[in-house]
Structure 1
Amino acid sequence: MDLTRRRDRERYARQLTHATPAAMIMDATVAREAGDWRAACTAAGVDVHVDLRDVAARFGTAQASMIEADLAGFAPDFLRRHLPRVDSAALEPGVRLVLSRRPEPFRTPGRLLRRRGTPVLVVTLPPSVDAPQRLALRVADVHELTGWWVDMPAWAWFDAAVTERRWAYGASASRLPWDGGDGPGDRASEFERLLAETGGDRLEDLFRSAGVEVAEPDGRAWHSYAFARAQANLPVLSVEAHRLAGRYREMLGGATFRPFGWSGLDLTVRPDGSVVVSPGAWSAGQDKTGPVGFGVAAPLDAALLRWGVLTPEELHPLVHEALFPGRAQDWRPVLHEPYAQVRVRCGGQWHVVEVIGAAVSTPHHDEAELQREALLGALGGRVSGCARARVGFRTGGKPVPKDIRKLRQHHLARALHGDTDGVLTDLAAGTDPLFRDGLGRTLLHWLAHLDHRRVLPVLLTAGLPIAEPDVDGRTALHAAALAGNAELMAVLVAAGAPADARDARGKTADDLLAETRKRLRAAG
């Protein structure tokens, strides 16, 4: 990401907004500051599977008290900003996170540890990119974890880790990154330098300047690509490597941490304390257990401040506390504007097309004209720019103006990430019953991601067909079943959804619900 480019800064800001919508931040913060960590989890879309009495019975009261202290400062909405994501910004499926502030290393389990264990908080991400973007919170014995996980630093999830958070966000004693002042050796200057747009062999030099040695490359084609992706971690990499080594070296019998992804870089902390990265491969570490080496990237909020994308009042409250100590924040949520105008070429003229929430308006054409254009297009004729814009917004079909496509993607992203308030803002401005995603799904298919009690009545009033299938023959009821949401299924059936509808595989919603539950049980 090149922070000098406006589009990259705006994309990062948009990712933060989708990851933690305004209502989520507000509700979770109020609950956390009131001492109600369970309500904070509810507000942040976290399903809690923690009983502190069971934790005490299994691990002892002292260990349970440590877990309770971690929960008391848990900021689940803030954690969401630092979670691993795929290119579409959906959460990386099935990833587990370890959250623990235990100061002592995880030991090789002797008889006492085997009897009592070492409890940690474990957060599990959704099973697929299309699943509701909810998290699951449990307590587990760290010695019983298998496979790989991401061990999250306290600054990414614990509210009181203010000093560590200020460092992680790149602030020096007297300034923020990209804000001038101080000398070349301060933390802010280091942050700027390590994140500067760099290419080729200079990337390896950048790693070395961050105190990370680079093993000789082995000629693999993805080597440079792996370094480029890992640059986002550089400002925190060396400190994170030593934290992981101190915590896991004895338990795992070493301090080499595998790549995150099918290929990447191994991260090793040698006994002398030096840190080295070397080419690694997913297949080589499939049977290994332990944390990944590049689990968390350096946050870029300070760049958004520097270029005016955000103001201090719009920062997440925990970020504001770290970057502006002693300053009272008058927090203002980042809200999206449901109205936009796009100029399109229509015939020999430029026309304005208006995007109004979840609909498109074409002031230069009435409905009869647009219907004639649609018929012409169905017969293989050339369709006007305004008509193409409306069809493209509705279906995603090409060609569609770039700005129209982006607005459509943002609307769908709000549904994917569970931004109920954002979706309702769009629907209140304008609702097109013919709006579909790329797989032919209506917003009814996305109800499991949202607060269906608030959204369903609006969609039905707008005329969305409750029984319409997508390209796979699945109705909104099938989609609820795939999400494992039996409550939503009952609501949809009561609203008229046909329970006997079958998809392209001949499956009813009840069939899919049974399959989903079986799959979730198998995954643990």
Structure 2
Amino acid sequence: MRPLHPSAMPPQMIERATRHRLQGDWRRACAAAYVTVSPDVADVPELEHLIPDLLRWHIPRDPQTGLFKPHRSYALAPLHDRHVLVARTPGPGGDQQLVLDGGVRGQAGNTFLLLRDHWDARCTAQLLTRCGGPDFLTSKPLLLDESGRHTEAWAAAGFDLDVLLFDERWGRAGDFPDPEWRRQAVEQSLAWLRPAFAFLPEAVERVADDTGLVRIELRARRLVFEVGSRRVRLLWNTPNPDAEREEFGVELLRVPSMPLALARRPDELTALLHGDLSPDDLHPVAFATLFPGRSGPHPRPVPPLPSAVGVHCGGAMHTVRMEDGRIVIPHTPEEITRERAMIALGGAPVGCLAALDGWSDPRVRMPRPMRRLRDEFVLRAAHGDVLAVTAALGNGLDDSVRSADGFDLESMLAWTQPPGSLHRVMSRRP
């Protein structure tokens, strides 16, 4: 997990959504968080407990742009029969509205169905449990697991780990005659999971059926838990019905399998441990859950867009400036007239003139620095960061910009705005 693009979760959006939610108005909270609720699910009771901006924070995104992965569906809560409440992401290049509507169980990812701390105000405390409790960053099982001492980590977490990998009944004992090979095989078997140790007993209870067992599938191995105890057995995942019936009283394919989303520690925890995220990168609800009593979070400010870029023009480096809502290039009117005459005869705009024309005409290939400026501005608009857009316009940016797909600023911002406010954004020109 990496920090989101600084405009991906605009602080003012979170603030508005939180204010409406705490006032008991989930509809306005959803609107503030750019979440559209379809009429067919508007009476679902779970919506009263939805934290729409927290849901938005957890939805998987492109790591570079922070835009949602397109055309994805995530089940949130059961409705009736086999139907579920579903969060859907937009298509590629579309606005970043999430849509909540109904769907069929099994046709959408179930991570949010299993981990309601991702969106349900009643369940946010589960995040701390899944991380390991109040001392989660310094807990012994976690630190042992991080250091590669996985067997010791399970013991420190209070589990009785019984290794059956080298039992003759499973037919692989001869592959590991050396004790060190066996030790390494066990450690490698456990390394992939990164378990949520403190949460596993609850997760086992959630998944269990009348067999009294739950399994987790690893890479070529599996763990088998006994419900209501701390005994865990590690063995190969190659079917061996006779040995399985002898050891467990049932063939393991008849035993419920625990989804990895329940078994593994949260991505936020791993990212915090490795320094990929700081506490200030967390959503405020996640921050308050993991760091109660601490001031914050203090999100990273959105860096201002540059008001000038350098472009190669006629063998020289020229500075193209954004001033008073227009693009200013260091050329005289006579020079520009000559260049346009050449273009009329079949030439293509280059250098400063390409920067000037391409800003509002995506058919013109701008110099790379101007494309980067445009794309970053368009990305802020795509995320609905109205304050960042307004700041750029106030700093002189030319609002005639069009995206690479040809959309103008009004079109790019229309989905984010309550009635009347789009005009106020567009009118903030010096």
Calculate the TM-score normalised by the size of structure 2. 0.61
Q: 1-side partners of 2:194 and 2:340: how far apart? A: 53
Q: 1:454 to 1:343 in 2, by over 3 A?
A: same
What is the CA deviation profile of residues 319-352 of structure 1, one whole-angstrom value per residue up to 9, with x for unaligned ones? 3323432113375673341434433333444333
Q: 2-side partners of 1:303 and 1:389: how far apart? A: 41
1:70-109 to 2 correspondences below 5 Å? 71-72=48-49, 74-85=50-61, 89-100=66-77
Q: Secondary structure at the match of 1:129?
A: coil
Q: 1:428 to 1:75 in 2, by over 3 A?
A: same
Measure how far apart 1:383 and its partner are: 5.5
Q: 1:22–1:335: 8 Å Cα contact kept in structure 2?
A: no
Of residues 392, 408, 411 in structure 2, which corresponds to 1:445?
411
What corresponds to 1:472 in structure 2? none
Q: 2-side partners of 1:398 and 1:44: how far apart? A: 35
Task: Kindly indicate whether residue 92 of structure 2 is the aligned counterpart of residue 129 of structure 1.
Answer: yes
What corresponds to 2:386 in structure 1? 420
Q: Secondary structure at the match of 1:13?
A: coil
Q: 2-side partners of 1:275 and 1:397: how far apart? A: 60
Q: 2:61–2:69: 8 Å Cα contact kept in structure 1?
A: yes
Aligned length: 362
Measure how far apart 1:77 and its partner are: 0.6
Q: 2-side partners of 1:244 and 1:339: how far apart? A: 50
Higher relative contact order (CA 8 A, sep 6+): 2
What is the CA deviation profile of residues 164-205 of structure 1, one whole-angstrom value per residue up to 9, with x for unaligned ones? 435767998274xxxxxx59x553685698xxxxxxxxxxx9
Q: 2-side partners of 1:148 and 1:33: how far apart? A: 29
Q: 1:97 to 1:374 in 2, by over 3 A?
A: same
Q: 1:120–1:139: 8 Å Cα contact kept in structure 2?
A: yes
Q: 1:174 to 1:311 in 2, by over 3 A?
A: closer
Measure how far apart 1:408 and its partner are: 1.6
Task: Kindly indicate whether residue 107 of structure 2 is the aligned counterpart of residue 147 of structure 1.
Answer: yes
Q: 2:360–2:401: 8 Å Cα contact kept in structure 1?
A: yes
What corresponds to 2:306 in structure 1? 339
Q: 1:121 to 1:356 in 2, by over 3 A?
A: farther
Q: 1:396–1:437: 8 Å Cα contact kept in structure 2?
A: yes
What corresponds to 1:13 in structure 2? 4
Q: 2-side partners of 1:428 and 1:445: how far apart? A: 19
Q: 1-side partners of 2:344 and 2:40: how far apart? A: 59
Q: 1:377 to 1:406 in 2, by over 3 A?
A: same
What is the CA deviation profile of residues 104-154 of structure 1, one whole-angstrom value per residue up to 9, with x for unaligned ones? xx9xxxxxxxxx9579962321452244322233577xxx52523333113
Q: 1:275 to 1:438 in 2, by over 3 A?
A: farther
Counterpart residue identity of residue 298, structure 1: D
Measure how far apart 1:436 and its partner are: 1.8
Q: 2:132–2:196: 8 Å Cα contact kept in structure 1?
A: no
Q: 1-side partners of 2:323 and 2:273: how far apart? A: 27
Of residues 190, 194, 201 in structure 2, which corresponds to 1:211?
190
Task: Kindly indicate whether residue 132 of structure 2 is the aligned counterpart of residue 156 of structure 1.
Answer: no
Counterpart residue identity of residue 320, structure 1: F
What corresponds to 2:319 in structure 1? 352
Calculate the TM-score normalised by the size of structure 1. 0.52
1:383-422 to 2 correspondences below 5 Å? 385-395=351-361, 400-422=366-388
1:341-380 to 2 correspondences below 5 Å? 341-354=308-321, 360-362=327-329, 364-366=330-332, 369-370=335-336, 372-377=338-343, 379=345
Q: 1:99–1:120: 8 Å Cα contact kept in structure 2?
A: no
Structure 1 unaligned segments of length 5 or more: list them: 2-8, 56-63, 101-105, 107-115, 176-181, 194-204, 214-233, 259-264, 279-289, 463-524
Q: 2-side partners of 1:456 and 1:416: how far apart? A: 17
Measure how far apart 1:83 and its partner are: 0.9
Q: 1:94 to 1:343 in 2, by over 3 A?
A: closer
Q: 2-side partners of 1:151 and 1:36: how far apart? A: 26
Q: 2-side partners of 1:244 and 1:275: how far apart? A: 20
Q: 1-side partners of 2:341 and 2:133: how far apart? A: 59
Counterpart residue identity of residue 37, structure 2: V
What is the CA deviation profile of residues 201-222 of structure 1, one whole-angstrom value per residue up to 9, with x for unaligned ones? xxxx999758366xxxxxxxxx
Q: 1:189 to 1:270 in 2, by over 3 A?
A: closer
Q: 2-side partners of 1:326 and 1:367: how far apart? A: 62
Q: Please say which structure displays the higher CA radius of gyration.
A: 2
What corresponds to 1:298 in structure 2? 267
Q: 1-side partners of 2:349 and 2:132: how far apart? A: 52
What corresponds to 2:167 in structure 1? none
Q: 2:117–2:127: 8 Å Cα contact kept in structure 1?
A: yes
Q: Secondary structure at the match of 1:187?
A: helix
Q: 2-side partners of 1:402 and 1:349: how far apart? A: 15
Of residues 15, 22, 37 in structure 2, which corresponds to 1:26?
15
Q: 2:305–2:373: 8 Å Cα contact kept in structure 1?
A: no
Cα RMSD for the two superposed structures: 5.4
Q: 1-side partners of 2:362 and 2:142: how far apart? A: 45
Task: Kindly indicate whether residue 288 of structure 2 is the aligned counterpart of residue 321 of structure 1.
Answer: yes
Counterpart residue identity of residue 14, structure 2: I
Q: Percent identity?
A: 25
Q: Secondary structure at the match of 1:149?
A: coil
Measure how far apart 1:453 and its partner are: 2.8
Q: 1:52 to 1:97 in 2, by over 3 A?
A: closer
What is the CA deviation profile of residues 226-271 of structure 1, one whole-angstrom value per residue up to 9, with x for unaligned ones? xxxxxxxx757899999888656769xx99999xxxxxx9999775
Q: 2-side partners of 1:96 and 1:134: how far apart? A: 13
Greater shift, 237-246 or 389-398, is seen at 237-246
